[in-house]
Chain A
């Protein structure tokens, strides 16, 4: 070895100490409304990059469609004024510290009147800030809710409780399935969902024979799947694994010849998964998020205007990006718009009062109740029906709507027990 330059010993020391080097970047750009004298800004604070982006970026796409439609229709009518909508987004990379920075920017610099979030890891500090600022905010994860989160609502998605509907449907329609294996990433999205699936499987009389979290930094899912399949489960449950993980785990299940039943909270970008596997492999897979061109989305109880049109416009403008959340943020924004017009004000506390008036509200899948004090200590989640979706001939198909509160009234104690056991 030469005497000049770096020696092997120096290299060894440096390389051994350097077992973690990662970078990050952020992007955030305001989306300007068309020219108007009065503008109301709606904030979007969530992961636009990284492995969780699949649950925020498609939602922001949907919200842009909503904003354009509202503005094209003359804006939001508050008394004699018309307000054009401007969407302001901030990429928090699903990091709590960046989320707080984004929260302050949206409220103090941009002057938004409402903030939509995915919720979970990035929520606590930001929501605390929103509460202090009397700012209305929304989440898809009601596990964010506490008795102190007075202005934080879950008006569209009540993750993960609706997962019980899929398990219950499966138990009733395929009673021969007796054992299940669950895997999930080890984080705030995985834990409550595992608790929910454990409760749902126990209520359905299905034994969970494997239940393990995997490191969110996992890049090779072959060992995860090999371990899951070791005891030949009838059902493999992908819990609320991130979209990228569901893709890679599904591929591994296919490659390791799993021919049982799969159940998952989401099955985003499923056409890509089918291309990696086969139509036969995913046939019968159960999850919880419909395509909006589903005939069952035209039923009378649905509170979403022209779901077919929204679905086709979305896919035309943002091809290959329809996911579980594509409709959710726009649905929340539309509820907020209607409440603002009803209140005659865009001020957050006025809109909140209009939203919760009467204790019920128009949830996308049917009228629902503001509920949650039994579980989170506050009635800030709009809970009612949720669809059970099955892959049939390569297409997501709603097989039934089931009521979440009905399940809770029968098995709520199980969910409480498993939530406590999983650290909830």
Chain B
């Protein structure tokens, strides 16, 4: 029983940062129509900002996380303005741009921080606390912090989308870009906002996970694969679907990894995505498209 509860705890902690990644990716696609392959590299950049500011230069952890969100958000804004905006009507061009950005950010990280030995990022809160008074079940403090920040950011983002005019505009643009433009909304400004927010969220995910994972230039690879699976399962363009799928996928993957094997979990995760595509091509909460 303790193993089951520990696995539930592991999955819950992991799902928060996966949701943060997926929501950012959905937002960028919804508004910009860009499959952003470089989204994993935004995550990587956030992790490196925390490494540099917190582990190397003794800035407080939370300040480093805020800095990571800002730095990666600004990277997103610059990329949108310089690279993605000119490709607005050429989605294939945007996709290729994002792949180029992926390589550029990886090489930049490799050149600036090196690729040899593991980066040491001590946790702000070492240790763990027992769950339900069970000695065999523990939740690490650092993961709890990461979970809390991720949930707060997701709630803040949800409130922003539902309660603010800018949020409404973003949702309108994601639903129908042409109709939004006809209503006088600036697609370019909304795309800029979406990219900044999406990149910032990925940066936040990397920042909060940095003390818990191995930080290296190619860390974005496995993360982006998971995020793609999640948004396909959740329904492309559906923010609620992304969060739901993040929780479902992470729980599924963590339980299979614990009771069977990590490789089997990854294979079954892909099969789960294929199954959803066959049974419900629009995803769990996605809306079907008129042909």
**Which residues of A line the B interface, CB within 8 A?**
1-12, 14-16, 18-25, 27, 48-51, 53-54, 57-58, 186, 212-215, 217-220, 222-224, 226-227, 229-230, 243-244, 247-248, 254-257, 269, 272, 275-278, 320-321
Contacts and interface: CB of A to CB of B under 8 A. Distances in A.
B222 A3 contact: no
Most chain A CB atoms below 10 A, which of B33, B89, B270: B33
Given A247-B118, A257-B128, 15 more contacts: A2-B178, A5-B177, A6-B34, A6-B95, A7-B289, A12-B232, A12-B283, A15-B228, A15-B236, A25-B110, A54-B117, A217-B266, A220-B10, A226-B10, A275-B122
B176 A1 contact: yes
Nearest to B174: A1
Contacts of B136: 229, 256-257
Contacts of A186: 263
A23 B106 contact: yes
Residue of B116, B270, B282 with most chain A CB atoms under a 10 A cut-off: B116
Among A11, A25, A48, A223, residue most surrounded by chain B Cβ atoms (within 10 Å): A223
A226 B222 contact: no
Give the one of B103, B110, B261 with max A CB within 10 A. B261
15 contacts: A1-B289, A2-B179, A3-B178, A8-B282, A8-B286, A10-B91, A12-B277, A21-B225, A51-B216, A53-B116, A220-B10, A224-B262, A227-B258, A256-B136, A276-B126
Given A12-B236, A19-B228, A22-B221, A5 B262 contact: no
Contacts of B128: 254-257
Interface in B133-151: 135-136, 138, 140, 143
B170 interface: no
B127 A9 contact: no
Contacts of B117: 53-54, 57-58, 243, 269, 320-321
DSSP class of B's interface residues: helix, strand, loop or mixed?
A: helix
Contacts of A257: 128, 130, 135-136, 138
B50 interface: no
B254 interface: yes
A1 B175 contact: yes
B235 to A, nearest CB: 8
A226 B35 contact: no
Interface string B100-117: 001100110010000111
B224 to A, nearest CB: 7
Interface of B: 3, 6-7, 10, 13-14, 29, 33-35, 37, 88-89, 91-92, 94-95, 99, 102-103, 106-107, 110, 115-118, 120, 122-123, 126-128, 130, 135-136, 138, 140, 143, 175-179, 213-214, 216, 218-219, 221-225, 228-229, 231-232, 236-237, 254, 257-259, 261-263, 266, 270, 273-274, 277, 281-283, 286, 289
A370 B177 CA distance: 74
B214 A219 contact: yes
Contacts of A320: 117, 120
A244 B219 CA distance: 13
Nearest to A48: B116
Contacts of A4: 89, 177-178
Contacts of B140: 255
Nearest to B270: A19
B224 A6 contact: no
A19 B232 CA distance: 11
A19 B226 CA distance: 8
Contacts of B232: 12, 15-16
B228 A18 contact: yes
A2 B33 contact: yes
A255 B35 CA distance: 37
B102 to A, nearest CB: 7
Contacts of A226: 3, 6-7, 10, 258
A23 B103 contact: yes
A215 B237 contact: no
A218 B222 CA distance: 9
A18 B227 CA distance: 11
A20 B120 contact: no
B175 A25 contact: no
A220 B14 contact: yes
Contacts of B102: 21, 23
Contacts of A222: 10, 13-14, 254
Given A8-B236, A230-B3, A218 B262 contact: yes
Contacts of A7: 289
Nearest to B286: A8
Contacts of A219: 213-214, 219, 222-223
A51 B258 CA distance: 23
A53 B120 contact: no
Contacts of B126: 276-278
Given A25-B107, A222-B14, A244-B214, A15 B231 contact: yes
B210 to A, nearest CB: 12
A96 B213 CA distance: 27
A277 B122 CA distance: 9
A27 B114 CA distance: 10
Nearest to A212: B261
Contacts of B178: 2-4
Contacts of A5: 33, 88-89, 91, 177
A213 B257 CA distance: 11
Nearest to A186: B263
Nearest to A20: B225
B262 A256 contact: no
